[in-house]
């Protein structure tokens, strides 16, 4: 199964299952509803779904579809879970898909397939720890945001801390993490907010202040947009 490529037409039935390898689903035509660990989205051409090892997922096709499926990529360490399940492809990645699809029927060169898949490192935000560590400046920027997420950050300040220009830092984040620094710190703050909601009785205003979000109203709006549930609903239904 290692670094294999398939073209699959999913059927109009829900199929809940998991794999012992990573998988990326890239629709070539039609639409497909995918649910990964209770995060559901309709994906179509121009989008991708990342499925980490042993993540339960369901697919439901309500129309004809054709999907490129990449299994067990060598550049994605199977022990590292993706922080996201759904992304929009860049124009460069989208333009690369027809070539990848052509490799399905071309069994003449295993090496060519392997090399072609390795190029995805530069086109998709593969959740691979060694990629982040490959650039110490990106690793430092990520560490600063992880450890000081409650502080006020802007791109120029963060870039200055790691001796990069704002545009260079933005490119590194987008290439290796699949998001901007602003999106990254927001996700970090919201994850911290979830911890406070599930482990304390602090008010939303207090939690907002602790995680670096301006006020309770902003926390409710951002949390609901990101997780599709309100903080109040999450707290009321937290695991006991």
Q: Is the confidence at residue 207, as pLDDT, over 90?
A: yes
**pLDDT per position as a tens digit, 108-158:** 666 666 666 766 656 676 655 544 455 778 888 988 998 899 999 999 999
Whole-number Å distance between alpha carbons of 51 and 59: 12
| DSSP per-residue string spanning 38-101 | TEEEEEETTEEEEE-TT--EEEE-SS--EEEEEES-TTS-TTSPPS-SEEEPPHHHHHHHHHHH
Grade residue 238 by pLDDT with cuts at 50, 70 and 90: low
Collapsing DSSP to helix, strand or coil, 233 comes out as helix
- How far the first Cα of the chain sits from its last, in Å, is 39
Whole-number Å distance between alpha carbons of 225 and 193: 14
Domains belonging to the chain, first-starting first, are 4-128 (2.60.120.10), 135-240 (1.10.10.60)
Helix or strand (DSSP H, E) at 32: strand 31-36
């Amino acid at each position: 199964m290692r670094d294999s490529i398939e073209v699959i037409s999913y059927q109009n039935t829900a199929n809940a299952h998991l794999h012992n390898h990573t998988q990326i689903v890239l629709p070539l035509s039609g639409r497909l509803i995918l649910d990964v660990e209770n995060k559901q989205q309709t994906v179509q051409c121009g989008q991708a779904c990342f499925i980490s090892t042993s993540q339960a997922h369901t697919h439901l096709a309500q129309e004809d579809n054709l999907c490129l499926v990449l299994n067990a990529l060598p550049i994605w360490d199977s022990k590292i879970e993706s922080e996201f399940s759904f992304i929009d492809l860049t124009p460069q990645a989208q333009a690369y898909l027809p070539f990848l699809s052509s490799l399905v029927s071309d069994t003449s060169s295993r090496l060519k397939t392997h090399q072609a898949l390795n190029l995805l490192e530069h086109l998709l935000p593969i959740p691979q720890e060694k990629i982040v560590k490959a650039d110490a400046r990106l690793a430092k920027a990520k560490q600063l945001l992880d450890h000081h997420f409650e502080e006020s950050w802007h791109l120029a300040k963060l870039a200055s801390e790691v001796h990069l220009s704002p545009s260079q830092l933005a490119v590194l984040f987008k290439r290796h993490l699949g998001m901007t620094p602003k999106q990254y710190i927001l996700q970090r703050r919201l994850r911290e907010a979830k911890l406070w909601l599930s482990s304390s009785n602090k008010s939303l205003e207090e939690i907002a202040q602790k995680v670096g979000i301006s006020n309770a109203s902003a926390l409710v709006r951002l949390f609901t947009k990101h997780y599709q549930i309100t903080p109040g609903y999450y707290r009321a239904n937290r695991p006991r």
